[in-house]
Amino acid sequence: MSFESSEFCRLDMKWILGFGVLIGTMGYYWWKKSQYTNTGASDGKIPKGSLGWPLIGETLSFIACGYSSRPVSFMEKRRSLYGKVFKSHLLGRPIIVSTDPDVNKVVLQNNGSIFIPYYPKSITELLGKSSILQMNGSLQKRVHGLIGGFLRSPQLKAKVTKQMELSIGLSMNTWKDKKLIYIQEETRNIAFEVLVKVLMSVNPGEDLEFFKREYREFIKGLICFPIKLPGSQLYKSLKAKERLLKLVRNIVEEKKFKLDKEGKLDTIKDVVEVLLCDAGEDGNEIQRLPLDSSEENMELKRRKIQLSQEYVWTDYISLPFTQNVINETLRMGNIINAVWRKALKDIEIKGYLIPKEWCVLASFGSVHMDDKNYENPCQFDPWRWQKKQEQSGTTSKNFTPFGGGQRLCPGLELSRLEVSIFLHHLVTRYRWMAEEDFIVNFPTVKMKHKMLITVTPIST
Ligand code: HEM
């Protein structure tokens, strides 16, 4: 290439680059402006906030806060700048973030008609189109009703209780010799075993180990960059899902074959059978005991031994202080810290406009960790729940670990029951000292060092 032509090329490149930057900047400002003004008649009422950088918006600080020990700091910072409801741009979408319990309540209560679930792409890719979180209208209601009816049924709870006792017994019997226990691993294994049993009647063995292994890989991709190339986390998780589905399909086919052959099932054993038979049962009332001290678990155990009685599932959830401990754990743990929705039409809540097609992030974590709703929110204080009835700040709109409205978690009672059983056997069999540890919130909530404890058996 001659001097002139390479010089021309350099000049040309400068022009192209300069032009590119100009177009890019104009595009950015046009794009930003359009996000403020594309709402026609309702212009000007969109909550305040920043849309951040083109394309990535404020995603990087959102994720960085998620990895920190205080994931709600992303919300807190913006709440102090713009108010309880603010605008942002996350994971490729303009979004309205609500840390206001009243707004969250309206979002939860208007499922289907105004808001539909709208989770990040990695989640929807992994859960797939047939996930209940992607169902709407009458189909969602029907599937929710079937699953909920089954999960709340006293028969299932009785069965889960026996299984939990068995699993916990096997696990805790080995603790005497170990002394050092990774409590997170133990509880995860127990909960997983019981869940897979409840869903598909899978017993300990090769299949269960396969489920555990693949599920671990699957869950890693729930919040990640939505890139499906070989080697990426999403790709690996999708492959794990394929392998999981293959096994699930085999299990369902076997059950179907049996059902077709025999015409009906004598007893319904798991969620898959509920869905195949399309039948469910309603839950019953829980009797609460008047005790309210931390000794209640010991008291229950002594009573059971004295009367030579077996535990029934209602025993475990009748202990009010234990329920307070679980409430407080759910409040601070924020396992599901927010739900994601999309507005089907323009809607105004408390003076905030949520334009059609915009995404809404109803942040439960921010409400649970707000000192306006909970005094000293960073302090683990189960006693606060004893005053719950009198405290105006601790009403149900301020406590939504299981969501609300039509999509209220159907596994709510079962989860609480499982934790109650575990806590009962833990506090009545062992004393423990915990090593220092802290919560990691991304991509799922867990303890950084798997929560190591040193246990000492107690005699009763
Ligand atoms: C501590 C444990 C759990 C927590 C914190 C939790 C939390 C939640 C939340 C917040 C939602 C609402 C999602 C939304 O509105 O978009 C939900 C939905 C759901 N949960 Fe749970 N959950 C737990 C355990 C379980 C268990 C054990 C099961 C089943 C055995 C379960 C099954 C479901 C289902 C099927 C839905 C979808 C309901 C629908 O969209 O109609 N959950 N859960």
Give residue 288's pLDDT.
39
Secondary element (H or E) of residue 97: strand 93-98
Could you identify the atom of ligand 1 that is nearest to the CA of residue 406?
Answer: 41
Give residue 5's pLDDT.
45
Question: Dihedral of CA 368/373/378/384: which sign?
Answer: negative
Give residue 24's pLDDT.
52
Give residue 29's pLDDT.
44
Write out the two tokens for 42. Answer: 């309702």
Nearest CA to ligand 1 atom 27: 411
Residue (of 3, 185, 98, 114) closest to 405 by Cα position: 114
Query: Which of the four pLDDT bands, split at 50, 70 and 90, describes residue 370?
Result: very high
Give residue 292's pLDDT.
43
| Position 111 pLDDT exceeds 70 | yes
| Position 225 pLDDT exceeds 80 | no
Binding positions: 409
Question: What's the 36 CA to ligand 1 centre distance in angstroms?
Answer: 34
Task: Summarize pLDDT for 243-283 with one digit per residue, the tens.
Answer: 999 999 999 999 888 888 887 777 778 888 888 886 444 33
Give residue 41's pLDDT.
40
Domains (ranges, CATH) in the chain?
38-457 (1.10.630.10)
Nearest CA to ligand 1 atom 11: 409
Q: Higher pLDDT residue, 296 or 261?
A: 296
| Position 377 pLDDT exceeds 90 | yes
Question: Given ligand 1 and candidates 144, 274, 409, which is best to mutate, with the most ligand atoms within 8 Å of its CB?
Answer: 409
Write out the two tokens for 352. Answer: 């905030």
Nearest CA to ligand 1 atom 20: 409
Question: What's the 410 CA to ligand 1 centre distance in angstroms?
Answer: 6
Question: What's the 408 CA to ligand 1 centre distance in angstroms?
Answer: 7
Question: What's the 149 CA to ligand 1 centre distance in angstroms?
Answer: 14
Least reliable range by pLDDT among 87-91, 257-261, 336-340: 257-261
The string of DSSP letters for 225-286 reads: ----STTSHHHHHHHHHHHHHHHHHHHHHHHHHHHHHHSS-SS--SHHHHHHHT--------
| Position 7 pLDDT exceeds 70 | no
Nearest CA to ligand 1 atom 16: 339
Cα–Cα distance measured from residue 330 to residue 332, given in angstroms and rounded to the nearest whole number: 6
Give residue 8's pLDDT.
42
* Residues within a 6 A CB radius of ligand 1: 117, 132-133, 140, 144, 147, 151, 195, 335-336, 339, 401-403, 407, 409-411, 414-415
What mean pLDDT value characterizes the chain?
84
Could you identify the atom of ligand 1 that is nearest to the CA of residue 147?
Answer: 35
Q: Higher pLDDT residue, 94 or 394?
A: 94
Nearest CA to ligand 1 atom 31: 411
Q: What is the mean pLDDT of residues 124-146?
A: 89
Q: What is the mean pLDDT of residues 314-343?
A: 94
Least reliable range by pLDDT among 32-41, 393-402, 431-440: 32-41
**How much of the chain, in percent, has pLDDT values that exceed 70?**
85
Q: Higher pLDDT residue, 295 or 305?
A: 305
Nearest CA to ligand 1 atom 18: 409
| Position 285 pLDDT exceeds 70 | no
Give residue 275's pLDDT.
80
Binding positions for heme: 409
Question: What's the 16 CA to ligand 1 centre distance in angstroms?
Answer: 52
Give residue 105's pLDDT.
97
Residue (of 102, 85, 74) closest to 398 by Cα position: 102
Name residues whose C-beta falls within 8 Å of residue 168's C-beta, 6 or more positions apart in sequence: 190, 421, 422, 425
Question: What's the 404 CA to ligand 1 centre distance in angstroms?
Answer: 10
| Position 168 pLDDT exceeds 90 | yes
Question: What's the 6 CA to ligand 1 centre distance in angstroms?
Answer: 63
Question: What's the 456 CA to ligand 1 centre distance in angstroms?
Answer: 35
Nearest CA to ligand 1 atom 1: 415
Cα–Cα distance measured from residue 18 to residue 458, given in angstroms and rounded to the nearest whole number: 75
Radius of gyration of the chain (CA): 26
Nearest CA to ligand 1 atom 15: 407
| Position 13 pLDDT exceeds 70 | no
Q: What is the mean pLDDT of residues 183-206?
A: 90
Identity of the amino acid at 61:
S
Write out the two tokens for 165. Answer: 């006792």
Give residue 411's pLDDT.
93
| Position 99 pLDDT exceeds 70 | yes
| Position 364 pLDDT exceeds 70 | yes
What's the CA angle centered on 401, arms 396 and 407, to 5 degrees? 85
Q: Higher pLDDT residue, 414 or 22?
A: 414
Nearest CA to ligand 1 atom 30: 411
Give residue 211's pLDDT.
94
Write out the two tokens for 295. Answer: 């000794």
Question: What's the 51 CA to ligand 1 centre distance in angstroms?
Answer: 30
| Position 226 pLDDT exceeds 80 | no
Secondary element (H or E) of residue 79: helix 73-82
Task: Summarize pLDDT for 381-430 with one digit per residue, the tens.
Answer: 999 998 765 555 445 899 999 999 999 999 999 999 999 999 999 999 99
**How much of the chain, in percent, has pLDDT values that exceed 90?**
57
DSSP 393: G
Give residue 71's pLDDT.
81
